[in-house]
Amino acid sequence: MSGNNVVLGRGSGSRVGAGGTPLAQKRLNTSKNVLLKVVILGNGGVGKSCLMNRFVSNHFDQHSFHTIGVEFLNKDLEINGETYTLQIWDTAGQERFKSLRTPFYRGSDVCLITYAVNDQKSFKDVSMWCKEFLTYADVKEGSTFPFILVGNKADVSEEGRQVTQEEARTWCKENGNPPFIETSAKDAINVELAFQMAVDRWIKFEEKMDRHYESEVVDLRSVKPPQRASCCMNGQSSRTEE
Ligand SMILES: Nc1nc2c(ncn2[C@@H]2O[C@H](COP(=O)(O)OP(=O)(O)OP(=O)(O)O)[C@@H](O)[C@H]2O)c(=O)[nH]1
């Protein structure tokens, strides 16, 4: 698309929260909002820019241009009384723009991997996108990172469809069970729901991480201090008592 938020080479990807950042640290200073960096990946032409624009401004562009580098837009989403500010990063899917998009993966909180249901190749490349993301995003918990699988262009006729829901679900089962949803940016089907699922996935991921960290916390009060070591000075043994 020809958006107005083209960001190239400013390195802003690392300014916003890192994946797995504790919830308290994710809150914006001025409000109670939680800021989440959401990245949309997938082959060129699957409809990433259209998904972002449908979600942010409820607009669909039939003649959307290829994205160059990355673009981002913000949108607030309220879930269970909590407001989340989604900073949505739309990346260029075409191979020739790879070096322009990968620097922006760092600090992502959630990743939407997209394909078009009428484009078998875009579905085949889904695993490649996950791999590329994990390589460049430098996330700590790669195997549990919150991905969502999105099959866009669900409005196409049955004859035009090249990827079944069954195939997509099988892929999910074999790849860490990310949530899966089919959308249509064109007909405004399930677009908001896809972003809600992304936030929900992030919340569950955070809770899991918090439990993990809590179980690793050592109660220092219950640990007996070690005996101080003896040392030998000038040939005399000197021991400091506790
Ligand atoms: N039928 C249908 N067409 C769509 C849908 N979403 C996007 N398109 C069309 O698909 C084409 C590509 O859409 P984009 O949003 O530019 O695709 P992209 O994934 O951002 O492409 P890159 O920027 O090259 O990575 C455009 O002609 C859109 O009008 C959809 O839900 N249904």
Q: What is the pLDDT of residues 49-62, one digit of tens each?
A: 999 999 999 999 99
Distance from the CA of 185 to the center of ligand 1, in angstroms? 8
For the CA of 65, the nearest atom of ligand 1: 16
Q: Considering only CA atoms, which residue is closest to atom 32 of ligand 1?
A: 153
Q: What percent of the chain has pLDDT over 70?
A: 73
Q: Which pTM does this prediction carry?
A: 0.81
Q: Considering only CA atoms, which residue is closest to atom 30 of ligand 1?
A: 153
Place of tokens 């021991």: 239
Distance from the CA of 116 to the center of ligand 1, in angstroms? 9
Distance from the CA of 62 to the center of ligand 1, in angstroms? 8
Distance from the CA of 51 to the center of ligand 1, in angstroms? 8
Rounded Cα–Cα distance for residues 53 and 47 (Å): 10
The pairs formed by 24-32 with CB atoms below 8 angstroms and a separation of 24 or more are: 26/109, 28/85, 31/83, 32/82, 32/83
Q: What average pLDDT does the segment 4-8 reach?
A: 38
Q: What average pLDDT does the segment 169-179 reach?
A: 96
Written as one string, the DSSP assignment of the chain is: ---S-EE-SS-GGGTS--TT--HHHHB-SSSSPEEEEEEEEESTTSSHHHHHHHHHHS---TTPPPP-SEEEEEEEEEETTEEEEEEEEEE--SGGGHHHHGGG-TT-SEEEEEEETT-HHHHHTHHHHHHHHHHHHT-S-GGG--EEEEEE-TTS-TTT--S-HHHHHHHHHHTT---EEE-BTTTTBSHHHHHHHHHHHHHHHHHHHHHHHHHH---GGGSPPPPPPPEEETTEEE----
Distance from the CA of 49 to the center of ligand 1, in angstroms? 7
Mean model confidence pLDDT for the chain? 82
Which residues does a 6 A CB cutoff place in the pocket of ligand 1? 1, 42, 44-50, 61-62, 64, 66-67, 92-94, 152-153, 155-156, 184-186
For the CA of 42, the nearest atom of ligand 1: 19
The two beta strands, 82-91 and 34-42, are parallel
Contacts for 187 with CB less than 8 Å, ≥ 6 apart: 155
Q: What average pLDDT does the segment 189-203 reach?
A: 96
CA 122 to chain centre: 19
Q: Which of 94-103, 104-113, 189-198, 214-223 has the lowest mean pLDDT?
A: 214-223
Q: Which of 123-132, 162-171, 200-209 has the lowest mean pLDDT?
A: 200-209
